[in-house]
Structure 1
């Protein structure tokens, strides 16, 4: 699944999440096991091993879609 975000794209598969930021030509990548989803703040959080970053999502639909593709439960 590909989601357009300001400044780039969020690419989600059953195994990993990638954030491609166009202006800085940066790619953030994390395995699904290192991902958390928070409903209140609409945040995608990657934290595991040497990976540590977060991304604010724009709406609950994006959060739900990522949850469906990755099989990650959304925390409140």
Structure 2
């Protein structure tokens, strides 16, 4: 599923998240096992050890669409 937000697009599958940012065509990718979500701040956090990134979504609808597809519980 593709979810558009203010900073670009998220391509979300049950296995991976790909974040395509509008700035400089940056693409961030993470496997679901490396993701966590913080509901009160609408944050997606990827932590694969040496590589880490986080992204704040625009609204609750985007956040809950992502976690539903990923199948992970928010913190």
| Structure 1 and Structure 2 fold alike (TM over 0.5) | yes
Q: Which has the higher strand share?
A: 1
Structure 2 partner of 1:49:
49
What is the RMSD computed on CA atoms of the aligned residues?
1.1
TM-score, scaled relative to structure 2: 0.91
Deviations 1:12-55 (A, max 9, x none): 00000001113311100000001111011110000122320000
The aligned length equals 75
Structure 2 gap segments, 5+ residues each: none
TM-score, structure 1 length as denominator? 0.90
Bigger helix share: 2
Runs of 4+ in 1 over 6 A off after TM superposition: none
Q: Is the 8 A contact 1:8 1:21 kept in 2?
A: yes
Q: Which runs of 5+ in 1 are unaligned?
A: none
Any conservation in 1 of the 2:18–2:29 contact (CA below 8 Å)? yes
